[in-house]
Structure 1
Amino acid sequence: MKALILRKYGKPAEIAFAEIARPAIKPDEILVRVHAVGLNPIDTMIPKGEFKPILHFDLPTALGSDLAGVVAEVGSRVTRFKVGDAVFASIFDLGTGSLAEFAVVPESAAALKPSNLDFVQAASIPMVGLTAWQALKERARVQPGQKVFIPAGSGGIGTFAIQLAKHLGARVGTTTSTGNVGLVRNLGADEVIDYKKQEFEEVLRDYDVVLGTVKGDALKKSLRILKSNSRIVSLIGPPDAAFARSRGMNFLMKAVFGLLSRGLIRQAAKIGAAYSFLFVHPDGRQLAEIGALLEAGKIRPVIDRVFSFDQAKEALAYLEKGRAKGKVVVQLR
């Protein structure tokens, strides 16, 4: 089968199409004929080796994390799916990739594709949907009436997280460029800061939750908009000791991550805020709940561009520019 393969980490990384063997499945896995793959920023970072201490791949390996497709084979212990089912899933952090004609998916990571979405739309959802769900619903426990700040509202995670926060009953603030103000308002954002004209920390006040999505000094600046008993959930770091413990890392890595996050944790504590780092994990049952929201029209996919499979490298390069409004998707079939 054809796959987009990472052969060697580096800048530039060695990425190329190759013919590889169709993968075999274990009893608790399904084999999916991939129709579409949603790309995420981490898919452009992994090839550079930025996550080598955390994510472990046996190179060469197929790239890609999200997918939508049709079940081609089921393992002997699989009970939730059958051959011919249309499914979507994230296989991030599972050691395999989705930018291939077939992909192995644990039964526990997959969900039935929402019936009102095509494969391209469904493939755009898994990682951003699970990330927003785990950050806002599980970690931050957002309640109706709370104020949630989601920077970079027009990006892949932002467009989904704004909609989920609104579904949870929150009031949402975000940042975006002038041309995307209408987009984020249509998604439900209540307070929109055009970052080309204003600094968000000079305008926003009394927020309960900050979702950290932008590198640089944005997290430190966000401390100025938080109230007491608030939460910062960061997707971009710094990783903390709790994250190291959750992955079973050794004492040295726990100490390193503890040092990396100590300053921000202390600054947050001074204003009564709690900081934590979130690394998304695949979860088919959560994805099924997200699928129900999509089927009910509570949340809608936002897609910037669709590339063919042959253009997958160009799609990754386009995503890396950081200008996409919503998601970038590769269509295989």
Structure 2
Amino acid sequence: MKRLQYHRYGGAEVMSLEECTVPMLAPGKVRVRVKSAAINPIDWKLRQGAMKWVTGRKFPRGMGSDFAGIVEKIGVGVTGFYVGDEVFGTLDIKSQGAFAEFVDADPRLLVHKPKRLSFSQAACIPVPATTAWAAIVDTAHARSGLRIFVHGCSGAVGNFAIQLAIAGGASVAGSCGAVALSSGTPAGVEALYAYGDKALFAALGKYDVVFDTLGTLSIAEGLALLKPKGRLIDINPTPEG
């Protein structure tokens, strides 16, 4: 099969589309013929070696986390999936390779694709949605009375974060680029600011939670937006997270 992969950590120049032998399907895995794959910032961060203490130095390494496709083969011990099922999911951080013709996925990271979603739409869900959920639901505990600021609210993670925060009852404000800003403030968002207007971010009051989906707010800038005992959540990968 063909797979986008790299033989050393680095920039875009280390990637190449190469022939790759399809391995024997391991027990407990599901082989999926990839119909669509989505690009996430974590993909190029991993390629650059941002988490090499986790991913190690075994090469070649595949590119890509999120995918959608059709089940091709079922490994021994797998239940709940059948050949021909339309599915979407993500790959473990140590076993990247969604930018390929086939992926062998952990069924715990795989779900059935709703018929109303295209393969392309489904592939865009896993990493952004789970990242936003971890920040807004698991960490911030979005609820009525909480004020949340989402820096980078027009991106995939930011978009999910806003929806989850509003669904939880929180008051939400955010920042975005000029193009998104010109489209108007999304329903339920109390205020929307351009990235360059950092001095205005807290114009309507400070926040209980600041979620930086871009990783471009300095710690000082983030803390300046918070109420006492507020929480700053950063998207950048760290050894602790």
TM-score computed with the length of structure 1 as normaliser: 0.67
1:82 is the counterpart of 2:82: yes
CA contact (8 A) 1:154 1:184 kept: no
Structure possessing the higher relative contact order (Cα contacts under 8 Å, 6 or more residues apart)? 1
How far off is 1:175 after superposition?
0.7
Give SS of 1:54's match: helix
Report what 2:203 is aligned to.
203
Give SS of 1:190's match: strand
1:93 is the counterpart of 2:93: yes
1:58 is the counterpart of 2:76: no
Structure 2 letter corresponding to 1:212: D
Q: Which ranges in structure 1 are unaligned for 5 or more consecutive residues?
A: 244-278, 280-333
How far off is 1:100 after superposition?
0.3
Give SS of 1:186's match: coil
CA contact (8 A) 1:149 1:211 kept: yes
Give SS of 1:46's match: helix
TM-score computed with the length of structure 2 as normaliser: 0.90
Counterparts of residues 136-147 of structure 1 (less than 5 Å) = 136-147=136-147
Report what 1:107 is aligned to.
107
Cα distance change, pair 41–200 in 1 and its aligned pair in 2 (3 A): farther
Give SS of 2:44's match: helix
1:49 is the counterpart of 2:55: no
Cα distance change, pair 11–75 in 1 and its aligned pair in 2 (3 A): closer
State how far apart, in whole Å, the 2-side matches of 1:68 and 1:209 are.
Answer: 33
Report what 1:122 is aligned to.
122
How far off is 1:13 after superposition?
4.2
Structure 2 letter corresponding to 1:73: K
Counterparts of residues 165-176 of structure 1 (less than 5 Å) = 165-176=165-176
State how far apart, in whole Å, the 1-side matches of 2:72 and 2:12 are.
Answer: 35
State how far apart, in whole Å, the 2-side matches of 1:204 and 1:223 are.
Answer: 16
Report what 1:35 is aligned to.
35
Structure 1 letter corresponding to 2:70: V
Structure 2 letter corresponding to 1:87: V
Structure 1 letter corresponding to 2:31: L
How far off is 1:199 after superposition?
2.5
Report what 1:261 is aligned to.
none
Cα distance change, pair 6–200 in 1 and its aligned pair in 2 (3 A): farther
How far off is 1:63 after superposition?
0.5
Cα distance change, pair 204–40 in 1 and its aligned pair in 2 (3 A): farther
Give SS of 1:165's match: helix
Structure 1 letter corresponding to 2:138: E
CA contact (8 A) 2:62 2:95 kept: no
State how far apart, in whole Å, the 2-side matches of 1:184 and 1:60 are.
Answer: 45
State how far apart, in whole Å, the 2-side matches of 1:140 and 1:63 are.
Answer: 31
Report what 1:306 is aligned to.
none
1:220 is the counterpart of 2:220: yes
Cα distance change, pair 187–25 in 1 and its aligned pair in 2 (3 A): farther
State how far apart, in whole Å, the 2-side matches of 1:216 and 1:81 are.
Answer: 41
CA contact (8 A) 1:193 1:199 kept: no
Cα distance change, pair 184–39 in 1 and its aligned pair in 2 (3 A): farther
Report what 2:236 is aligned to.
236
CA contact (8 A) 1:71 1:84 kept: yes
Give SS of 1:221's match: helix
Counterparts of residues 248-327 of structure 1 (less than 5 Å) = 279=241
1:87-123 Cα offsets, whole Å, 9 max, x none, are 1111141323110000011011111112221000000
CA contact (8 A) 1:69 1:119 kept: yes
How far off is 1:197 after superposition?
4.4
Q: Number of residues paired by the alignment?
A: 241
